[in-house]
Amino acid sequence: MDANGKKKILVVEDEKNIAQVLAYNIKKEGYDCTCAYDGETGLTEALTGGYDLILLDIMLPRMNGFEVCEKIRLVSQVPIIFVTAREEEKDKILGLDTGADDYVTKPFSFKELLSRIRANIRRSSGEVVQVRQTPAAGAVIEVGELAIDTTHYSVTKNGEAIELSKKDYDFIAFLAANAGKAYSREALLEAIWGYDDYYGDIRTVDVTVCRIRNKIEKDPAKPEYLMTKRGVGYFLAKR
């Protein structure tokens, strides 16, 4: 936050005209906005500037967006939204645990982008409960061979740790806390990613489910835990 109480947003984007149009629109919404035009400068600024949110391009001179994100994540949990130009970048963000909170694909509407910015800032500043209907921290939820430890944000299967990103953890913890109940992909986007309007890409939910199944299911093609409810969405089986 700056001296006037405005939330601060950093735009890391090497195409100056795009960066400036972004900054103009972001400022119009009442945020403070600074631009950096290469990865290294962006990283330095991100680490020293006290930002509330970072918009991060991927193809950047001097250090790409994935590296910048990784280095920020070593020391900060500031919300990061990737701004991607290509489908394969989007797949990479979805497929890898890049540490990003969200992404938008160019070309995007400002309405959509601002909705994402609002949602991510609200969530990180604790203005919304991270995952609604999650049991109080301290509980361990057991579902069959799975144990979800809400103190350590960790998941084990038969006592063996399963490596999950924060979002994947939130996803499975949410379903586990409400085991047996099916949720639509839209509801899951709202609950886990916190969009105030429905602008999310429901494919995000499908890809998340696929990634989690690969980690927790014996045969991801025949899931026993993370189930599809035809015509509705997904649920975690009560076992």
Span interacting with Ca ion, options 9-17, 41-49, 127-135, 210-218, rule CB under 5 A: 9-17
**DSSP of 148-192:** EETTTTEEEETTEEE---HHHHHHHHHHHHTTT--B-HHHHIIII
For Ca ion, the closer of residues 37 and 199 by Cβ is 37
Question: Distance between CA 77 and CA 133 in Å, rounded?
Answer: 23
Question: Distance between CA 157 and CA 179 in Å, rounded?
Answer: 16
- Shortest Å, Cβ 53 to Ca ion: 19
Q: Which residue is nearest to Ca ion (CB)?
A: 59
For Ca ion, the closer of residues 57 and 168 by Cβ is 57
- Shortest Å, Cβ 28 to Ca ion: 23
Residue 74, classed as helix, strand or coil, is helix
For Ca ion, the closer of residues 14 and 190 by Cβ is 14
- Shortest Å, Cβ 60 to Ca ion: 6
The side-by-side arrangement of strands in the sheet containing 102-105 is: 32-36, 8-12, 53-57, 80-84, 102-105
Q: What share of the chain is helix, strand, coil (3-state, %, to 5)?
A: 40, 20, 40
- DSSP-derived secondary structure letter, 136: P
- Shortest Å, Cβ 94 to Ca ion: 19
For Ca ion, the closer of residues 59 and 237 by Cβ is 59
Site string for Ca ion, 26-65 (x = CB under 5 A): -------------------------------x-x------
Q: How many residues bind Ca ion (CB under 5 A)?
A: 3
Amino acid at 47: L
Question: Distance between CA 103 and CA 85 in Å, rounded?
Answer: 11
For Ca ion, the closer of residues 57 and 190 by Cβ is 57
Pairing assessment for the beta strands 53-57 and 8-12 based on DSSP bridges? parallel
For Ca ion, the closer of residues 62 and 157 by Cβ is 62
Please, are residues 81 and 55 in contact by the beta-carbon 8 Å criterion?
yes
Q: Is 14 in the site for Ca ion (CB under 5 A)?
A: yes
Q: Is 89 in the site for Ca ion (CB under 5 A)?
A: no
Q: Is 179 in the site for Ca ion (CB under 5 A)?
A: no
- Shortest Å, Cβ 24 to Ca ion: 18
Residues that bind Ca ion (CB under 5 A): 14, 57, 59
